[in-house]
Amino acid sequence: MKLLALRTELNTLRTTPILSVATESPAVKTFTLKDKLCAKAKPGQFLMLWIPNVDEIPLSIMKTEGTEVSVSVKQVGLATRHMHKMKKGETIGVRGPFGNSFTQKSSKALLVGGGTGTAPLIFLAKVLKARKKRLAFVVGAKTKTELLFMNDLNQICSEQSLTTTTEDGTYGLHCFVTKPVATLLAKQKFDMIYTCGPELMVSKIFNLAEQHRIPLEASLERLMRCGIGLCGSCMIGKYRVCRDGPVFDSEQLRDVKDELGISKLGFDGTRIPV
């Protein structure tokens, strides 16, 4: 408790230059910043990024190295459109790292990522691999050009342990990620599933995990404002995604099954569809 208090109090906004920008796909760029605190993040944690004069948004941490931290940003709205115009050397604000992290308790894990939700799983997979844990990775996107982090994935995974799907069949299997996940779960033994991506996907993967009685950890996304467990914007059931999450285990997910993949709070605090 004391440690948490210290963390929130010391975790003030600081400004830092963008060190590099890499294009991952037509809609996704990865930004690398210098930030000692966030460089200490664990897989699953997130940071709050302030785009001066525009907005402040939560982003999953995708990579850390030395004193550097990377986040992948998909163009979806005003703030992310602005981000995409930003270049190396420009100043940006950062707070974090916030939230909990994946447990890394598995000995053989199945990782299931959809879209930019794959980012924290790449971070996790690298750590798991460094700790000599076995893993299989299923990654999906709508179409080939939207498949992210293929270079990283090919480095982390062997050919047999990586499954790629696209909804339009332009690359890998022509299906949703759920199909190969169901096949893998029927054929192989896993002791943990880690997942992140669109919430409908997460909720389907959770159902599969429940059917196969395999523990699962999912990183969830909600509208966030304060990032420190204060404002209540990111509630799911009794949990604050920013502080009690963003990673939730099977037991917690059972608690919130009325909302998972169904509803979230909007900017005015009313429930809206996910």
Which residue has tokens 């050397």? 89
Does 262 help bind other proteins (rule: CB under 8 A)? no
Q: Rounded CA gap, 28 and 73, in Å?
A: 5
Among 4, 76, 175, 186, binds other proteins (CB under 8 A): 4
Nearer to other proteins, 53 or 151 (CB): 53
Question: Is residue 235 a contact point for other proteins (CB under 8 A)?
Answer: yes
Task: Retrieve residue 123's tokens.
Answer: 């971070």
The 45-84 site mask, x for binding other proteins (CB under 8 A), equals -----x-xxxxxx---------------------------
What residues from 13 to 52 belong to the interface with other proteins (CB under 8 A)? 13, 15, 50, 52
**174-178 long-range contacts, CB within 8 A, separation 24+:** 176/140, 176/201, 176/204, 177/112, 177/113, 177/114, 177/138, 177/139, 177/140, 177/201, 177/205, 178/204, 178/205, 178/208
> Does residue 178 sit in helix, strand or coil?
helix
Q: Which residue has the tokens 């963008």?
A: 18
Structure token pair of residue 76: 């979806």
Q: At 255, list the tokens.
A: 């608690």
Sole binder of other proteins in the list 23, 143, 168, 232 (CB under 8 A) = 232
The minimum distance between CB 174 and other proteins, in angstroms, equals 39
The 10 Å Cβ neighbour count of residue 135 is: 23
Q: Return the residue of 89, 159, 267, 273 that touches other proteins, per CB under 8 A.
A: 267
The yes or no reply on residue 263 touching other proteins (CB under 8 A) is no
Q: Applying CB under 8 A, does 229 fall inside the site for other proteins?
A: yes
Query: Which chain residues interact with other proteins by CB under 8 A?
Result: 1, 4-5, 8-9, 11-13, 15, 50, 52-57, 91, 93, 95, 225-233, 235, 237-238, 240, 243, 265-270
